[in-house]
Structure 1
Amino acid sequence: MSDFTELNRQYFRSVHDQYRVQSAFLTNPHSKLASSYREEFRQGQELIFNEVQGRRAWISDTWNDTKSGKGHKIRMLEYACGPGAVSAALAPFVDHIVGIDVSEEMIKQFNINAQETGFADKMHGYHGDLLAEPVPDHLSGPEFFDFDLVAVSMALHHFDKPDMALQRLGERLKKDGMFLIIDLVLEDEHSSNSLQKAFPQASATVRTHGFTSDSMQKLFEEAGMGQNFDYKVIQEPIVFRKEGKEIRKTVFIARSQRS
């Protein structure tokens, strides 16, 4: 594990107890989450959940309720999964979900959320680092490959080497599988400095301050996933709140397909 990855692991260990995805979140996306869910992260997790579920047909046409998915076991990997908002959004439409995170505490929360949302039979979280050199043996078995979908949400900007990350994670996809990214739109230097001033601890874990459509397309193409690329800016900003401070950031959702 690199020093930068360890810095991220320690930071997300310190905030893991602020995340919850409750069953009410799945049955009624507009309802408020339980009081144990800290306000700092509620809006962001709801935004991701709603955008992913609302754009499901755009992400892929292969689900357990579609013609192309009929008769197939649909498998998904969410890397740097955190509490699993993307997994929760897509769990009704796939057969098996693997969540992997470098933070043990986040994986505990992922598995708790799987229980609370009624998807423990298909959502399973594992602690580990797929970007390590070498990849841990316990994440190298056949059950960790040949996914129909790989998703990375609000994490690519934390990766030390985004290009290597997409190449490594793209290898986990089956041919013609889809890769989904949700992350920050690249903004001006002033916006980046505002984030650093408001949240210095979190900012220290950021390697890249956002991605344009062109930069994402290049990353996908270089990782062998250049088919059917699309990039959409999400109109509602994601809101970061902590200790009375608030920052709004524009995010995108992008998809591309393994060649």
Structure 2
Amino acid sequence: MADFTEANRKYFDQKAAAYKTDFAEVTNRLSKEIGDHRHWVSSKWSDTEAGKGQEIKLLEYACGPGTASLTLEPFVTKIVGLDISDKMIDEFNKNAREAGVSPERMIGLKGDLLAETLPEHLSGPSFFDFNIVVVSFALHHFADPELALKRLGDRLKKGGVCLIVDFVPEHGHHHGHDEIHQHNPEAAATIKKHGFTRDEMQKLYEDAGLGAGFDFKAMEEPVEFTAKDRRLKKKMFIARGERL
């Protein structure tokens, strides 16, 4: 597991500086879907009756450049981004500052919530009691998705929402999966699973005590992106569940 984590860290350190440009189509689509589904995700935001005047804390795990965080920033009071890649954290903080968001309101820090022994610096109260935890396009990179959801669930308040955006598995002969292996072995070495079905996600949420109000939406229109000069199309889903 440690070797797999290290492969991911190195890969995303290399990708960090150009990620926003290289994957602009993916990040734009992610921002749109999260924005469009905000009230489906939760009724508690700083601009809604249920959330007005309250502290609303968001954790984005495997945050990368912070696309989900920046989309939701106007509607929460505090954001913490965690990632195992130093360079991605640099991008997260740079993007937040460029958007005019202060470090007191939105901060990215290096941290691995999936380590066998949890790092001491992640045990303080500021890393718990979140209203929302977001993981976007990262679950397929985690060595142990079951452990990931349990650890993320531990960080949520009771009634807090876990939001996951990822890919739906390809039908037929893992066409996209084979293409990635063939044309981009570096990326393939960081991927544990090629997408998740609704049933798989429901089980992950329920086993982690996050099954309340579970819902899953597969998007009709695929996400398109270029990887190693090849156009790939993948279907995405958005899933939510609350801590019991």
Q: Same-fold call, TM > 0.5?
A: yes
Partner SS for 2:55: coil
Partner of 1:115: 97
Offset at residue 71 of structure 1 (A): 2.5
Please report the TM-score for the alignment, with normalisation by the length of structure 1. 0.90
Q: Which amino acid counterpart does residue 91 of structure 1 have in structure 2? A: E
Q: Provide the rounded CA distance (Å) in 1 between the counterparts of 2:43 and 2:230.
A: 40
Q: Which amino acid counterpart does residue 52 of structure 1 have in structure 2? A: I
2:213 to 202, 217, 228: 228
Q: What CA deviation, in whole Å up to 9, does each residue of 1:68-100 have, x standing for no partner?
A: 112310000000000011001100000000000
The runs of at least 4 aligned residues of structure 1 exceeding 2 Å deviation read 188-191
Offset at residue 233 of structure 1 (A): 1.0
Contact 1:19 1:109 (C-alpha < 8 Å) held by counterparts:
no
Alignment of 1:19-98 (within 5 A): 19-20=19-20, 38=21, 40-98=22-80
Q: Which amino acid counterpart does residue 214 of structure 2 have in structure 1? A: F
Offset at residue 114 of structure 1 (A): 0.5
Q: What CA deviation, in whole Å up to 9, does each residue of 1:234-253 have, x standing for no partner?
A: 23322231342121111100
Q: Which amino acid counterpart does residue 13 of structure 2 have in structure 1? A: R
Please report the TM-score for the alignment, with normalisation by the length of structure 2. 0.96
Partner of 1:24: none
Partner of 1:7: 7
Offset at residue 146 of structure 1 (A): 0.2
Partner of 2:163: 180
Q: Which amino acid counterpart does residue 209 of structure 1 have in structure 2? A: H
Offset at residue 14 of structure 1 (A): 0.8
- Which blocks of at least 5 consecutive residues in structure 1 are unaligned? 21-37
Partner of 1:205: 190
Contact 1:159 1:165 (C-alpha < 8 Å) held by counterparts:
yes
Determine if the alignment matches structure 1 residue 169 to structure 2 residue 148: no
1:151 to 126, 131, 134: 134
Q: Provide the rounded CA distance (Å) in 1 between the counterparts of 2:179 and 2:123.
A: 40
- Number of aligned residues: 241
Q: Provide the rounded CA distance (Å) in 2 between the counterparts of 1:236 and 1:204.
A: 27
Identity, in percent, stands at: 50
Partner SS for 1:211: coil
Partner SS for 1:65: coil
Q: Provide the rounded CA distance (Å) in 1 between the counterparts of 2:161 and 2:23.
A: 27
- Which blocks of at least 5 consecutive residues in structure 2 are unaligned? none
Partner of 1:129: 112
Partner of 2:232: 247
Q: Which amino acid counterpart does residue 126 of structure 1 have in structure 2? A: L
Partner of 1:30: none
Q: Provide the rounded CA distance (Å) in 1 between the counterparts of 2:227 and 2:182.
A: 12
Q: Provide the rounded CA distance (Å) in 1 between the counterparts of 2:183 and 2:218.
A: 24
